[in-house]
Amino acid sequence: MHVLDVAVIGLYFALIAYIGYRTGRGNLGIEDFFLAKRAMPWYVIGLSVMATQASAITLIGTTGQAYVDGMRFIQLYFGLPLAMVILCATLVPFFYRARVYTAYEFLEKRFDGKTRSLTSFLFLMGRGLSDAVVIYAPSVILAIVFGIDEKILIVLIGAGATLYTALGGMRAVMWVEAWQMMIIFLGILFCLGAVIAGLPGDISLVEAVKIAGAAGRTETVDFTLDPSVTYTFWSGVVGGIFLMLSYFGCDQSQVQRYLTGSSLTESRLSLLFNAMFKIPMQFVILLTGALLFVFYQFEKPPPVFNPVALERLRVSDHRAELASLEREYDEVFELRKDRASGLAGALSTPEEPEARRLFLDAETRFSEVRGRVIALVEENDGVRFNDTNYVFPAFVLAELPPGIVGLILVAIFAAAMSTVESELTALSSATVIDFYRRYLKTDESDSHYLAVSRAATIAWGAFATVCALYMGRLGSAIEAVNRIGSNFYGPILGVFVLAVGTKRANGHGAFLGILAGVAAVQLAARFSDVSFLYYNLIGTAAAVAVGYGLSLAFSTPERSV
Amino acid sequence: MGLETDSPPPIFRTWRRFYFVVVVNTFLAYALLLLFSLFAR
C-alpha cells in the first residue's frame, strides 16, 4: 500500500479518536452514556441514523450489484420515506414522551415485563451475531483485494469501534458517526467523479448512461406484479414500508439514536432528513456501479474480480483451460469494446437499433465467457462463487491514484465502524436496561450502572470481534442465526402496532402474537416463493391479528403509558 | 436550534404539512427515477 494511503488512513483514525475524546468527555451517568443526555441536534441524529444503516457492505456491495445486475436494487428503499413519516406521526411521540432508554422498555409500560424481555432478547440474539458479520464481511474483501492481513482489519474495525464507544458513550459515537457519514458522502462523490473521469474522452456522460441502459443496468422502476420477484416497485413500497418501519421503529440501534433528541422536534426532523436524502444517496451509489459497467466496456476488467480465486485457478490443474478461456475473453472484450463505441456513435441516428442489437449480442457473448470462467473457479474451489462485492474495491485499487485510494478505504472503514458502534451502544443498553437493571440489580447508583454499561460495551465488542476472527469456521452457523433473527422484525413491529394502535391489546395477547408472527414468517419462507421483502408485512399482520384476538380472549385490565 | 419543542420548521407551520411535502417529494423521486429509466433505455 502506498505511503500516502497509509497517511490518509492514519489521519482518519486520529481524527475520530480526537472527536471521540472531545465530545465524549465527562459522561456522568447512564442517561449521558446511552442517550447523550437527550440533548442532540437533529442534523447529528440524522447523519448518525444514516451512518448506522450504511454498512461497508452497503457501499461495496451496492456498487457491485449495479455493475452485475443494474440499479433495480434502489426499489428496496422506496418505502423508507413513507415509513419515516408514519413513524414521526405515530411511534416517535410515544417513545419520546415515555422517556424510555430502550424501545422494549416502552412495551413493559404498555403491556408487561415478559413482552419487554422477549422482544429485547430477540433483538440481542439477532444483533449480537450480526455485528460480527458487519466486521467480518468488509475485512475479508479488503484483505483479498489489498493484500492486507484479514485479522489486522478485523481487529482495527472491531477494537477501534469498541474502544471509543466504551470510553465516549453515545454522544461521542453520534458525533463520530456524523463525521463518518460525511466521509462516506465524500467517498461516494469521489468514486462517481473518478468513474466519470475514467471514461474515454469521446464518450459523454449521456452516452455512457445510454450504454448502461442498453445493457439493462439503469432499470430503476419495475412495475411487475409477481410477488416472487425481489425488487419491484410494489415490493419496495409495500414490503419496504414494513421493512423500514420494523428497522427504524423497533430496532434499538435506530430507536436509541432518535431518543437522544433534545426535543420531539429534533427527533422528528432527524428521521425526515433521512426520508429526504436516502433515495438520492442510493441513486448516486448505484449510478457509480452502472457507470463502472460502462468504464469496463473500454478498459479490460479481470475475468473475475477476486484476485485470490483467480490466482488459485492459474496454478491449478485447470490452468490450460483458463488460458484458453482468457484468449477467448480477450477477443470478446475487444469485440464488445468496438460495438460499445459503435453504439455511442450511432445514438439518435437511424443506425441506433442495429448498433444496439450488435452491442447486446457482444455483451451476451462476453457474459457467457465470463460465466464459464466463474464455473471453472467454482469447479476448482468446490464452492459457489460470487464476485459482486469485489468489483468496486478492485476498481479502486487498479484505477485510482494514491491518496484517493486511502480516502475510499477510509470511507469503507467509516461505513463499517459506524454500524458496529451503533450496534454496540444498542446491545449494551438493551443488556443493562432491559435485563441487568430490570432483574439483577434494580436499585444501584448511577455510577454503578455506568461502569456496568462500559463493561457490557467492551464485552459485546470483544464477542463480535472474536466471532469475526473465527467467522471463516463459524460462517454458516452465524449466517443461519442471522437469517432467523431477521424473521423477528415483523412480529416485533406487530407488537408495537398493538401497543400504540389499540386500547384492548394486553400482555398475554402481545406475547403470543409475537410467536404467531414468527411462525407465519417461517411458513411463508418455507412454503412460498414470495420475496423476502414481504416477510415483515406477513409477520406484522399475523402478530397483530393473533395478538389482538387473544387479547380479547384473555381480556385483562388496561394499562396506560 | 431556534425551534420550539414539538413544532415543525416555521415554513411548514404544521407537522401535517411537512409530512405532506415529504410524501409529495417521495412520489416525485419515483417519477424522476422512472423518467431516468425511460431516458436511459
Which residues on A lie below 8 Å from B39 (Cβ)? 209, 213
- Whether the pLDDT of residue A28 is over 80: the answer is no
Residue B26 is which amino acid? Answer: T
How many angstroms separate the most distant Cα atoms in chain A?
81
Task: Give mean pLDDT, residues A237-247.
Answer: 92
Per-residue pLDDT band for A82 (boundaries 50, 70, 90) equals very high
Q: Closest by alpha carbon to A289, among A396, A155, A431?
A: A396
**pLDDT of res. A516:** 95
Which residues on B lie below 8 Å from A84 (Cβ)? 22
- Whether the pLDDT of residue A472 is over 70: the answer is no
**HSE-CB of A16 using CA atoms within 13 angstroms:** 31
The better pLDDT of the pair A140, A360 is held by A360
- Whether the pLDDT of residue A35 is over 50: the answer is yes
Quick: pLDDT tens for A190-216: 999 999 999 999 899 999 999 999 999
- Whether the pLDDT of residue A501 is over 60: the answer is yes
Q: A402: burial class by Cβ within 10 Å (0-12, 13-18, 19+)?
A: middle
- Whether the pLDDT of residue A484 is over 70: the answer is no
Per-residue pLDDT band for A482 (boundaries 50, 70, 90) equals low
Quick: pLDDT tens for A12-21: 989 888 888 8
Count CB neighbours of A27 within 10 A.
21
CA distance A468 to chain B (A): 38
Q: Closest by alpha carbon to A131, among A186, A191, A67, A57?
A: A57
Gap between the Cα atoms of A9 and A201, Å rounded = 32
Grid coordinates of A228: 416472487
* Facing A218 at nearest CB: one of B6, B22, B37: B37
Task: Give mean pLDDT, residues A149-174.
Answer: 90
Quick: pLDDT tens for A264-279: 999 999 999 999 999 9
- Whether the pLDDT of residue A561 is over 60: the answer is no
Weakest-pLDDT range from A66-70, A124-128, A158-162: A124-128
Q: What percent of chain A has pLDDT over 90?
A: 61
* Residues A84, A87, A88: CA angle, nearest 5 degrees: 85
Q: Does B4 reach chain A within 8 Å, measured CB to CB?
A: yes
Gap between the Cα atoms of A318 and A67, Å rounded = 27
**pLDDT of res. A483:** 64
**pLDDT of res. A48:** 93
Interchain contact, B29 vs A81, CB within 8 Å: yes
**pLDDT of res. A25:** 75
Q: Does A277 reach chain B within 8 Å, measured CB to CB?
A: no
**pLDDT of res. A216:** 92
Q: How far is CA A334 from the centre of its chain?
A: 36
**pLDDT of res. A265:** 94
* Facing B37 at nearest CB: one of A219, A266, A269: A219
CA distance A425 to chain B (A): 26
Q: Closest by alpha carbon to A59, among A378, A285, A304?
A: A285
Weakest-pLDDT range from A34-43, A50-59, A192-201, A308-317: A50-59
Gap between the Cα atoms of A31 and A39, Å rounded = 10
A225 DSSP 8-state letter: -
Task: Give mean pLDDT, residues A439-461.
Answer: 94
Mean pLDDT of chain A: 90
* Contact assessment for residue A240 and residue A282, using Cβ atoms and an 8 Å cutoff: no
A315 DSSP 8-state letter: T
Residues 204..223 of A with a Cβ closer than 8 Å to B: which?
Answer: 209-210, 212-214, 218-221
Residue B39: closest CA among chain A residues belongs to which residue?
A210
CA distance A513 to chain B (A): 31
**pLDDT of res. A382:** 85
Q: What are phi and psi of A218, to 5 degrees?
A: -115, 15
A261 DSSP 8-state letter: B
Task: Give mean pLDDT, residues A422-443.
Answer: 95
**Which residues 6+ apart lie within 8 Å of A72 measured at CB?**
A219, A220, A222, A231
Q: What would the DSSP string read from start to end of A97-128?
A: HHT-SSHHHHHHHHS-HHHHHHHHHHHHHHHH
* Contact assessment for residue A209 and residue A511, using Cβ atoms and an 8 Å cutoff: no
Q: Does A285 reach chain B within 8 Å, measured CB to CB?
A: no
ipTM over 0.85: yes
Q: By three-state DSSP, how is residue A253 classified?
A: helix
CA distance B13 to chain A (A): 13
Interchain contact, B19 vs A89, CB within 8 Å: yes
Q: Closest by alpha carbon to A82, among A202, A233, A219?
A: A233
Which residues on B lie below 8 Å from A221 (Cβ)? 30, 33-34, 37
* Facing A276 at nearest CB: one of B8, B22, B39: B22
Residue B27: closest CA among chain A residues belongs to which residue?
A78
**pLDDT of res. A375:** 94
Task: Give mean pLDDT, residues A175-188.
Answer: 90
Residue B40 is which amino acid? Answer: A
Count CB neighbours of A350 within 10 A.
7
Per-residue pLDDT band for A242 (boundaries 50, 70, 90) equals very high
Place of cell 443461519: A480
Sign of CA dihedral A35, A37, A38, A40: negative
Residues 248..267 of A with a Cβ closer than 8 Å to B: which?
Answer: 262-266
Interchain contact, B9 vs A269, CB within 8 Å: yes
- H or E element at residue A341: helix A319-346
Sign of CA dihedral A72, A73, A78, A81: negative
Which residues on B lie below 8 Å from A81 (Cβ)? 22-23, 25-26, 29
Task: Give mean pLDDT, residues B5-19.
Answer: 88
Task: Give mean pLDDT, residues A284-305.
Answer: 94
**pLDDT of res. B1:** 45
Gap between the Cα atoms of A487 and A238, Å rounded = 17
Place of cell 482518519: A12
CA distance A23 to chain B (A): 19
* Structural domain spans, chain B: 10-41
Per-residue pLDDT band for A485 (boundaries 50, 70, 90) equals low
Q: Does B23 reach chain A within 8 Å, measured CB to CB?
A: yes
Please state the length of chain A: 561
Gap between the Cα atoms of A170 and A479, Å rounded = 28
Grid coordinates of A460: 459485546
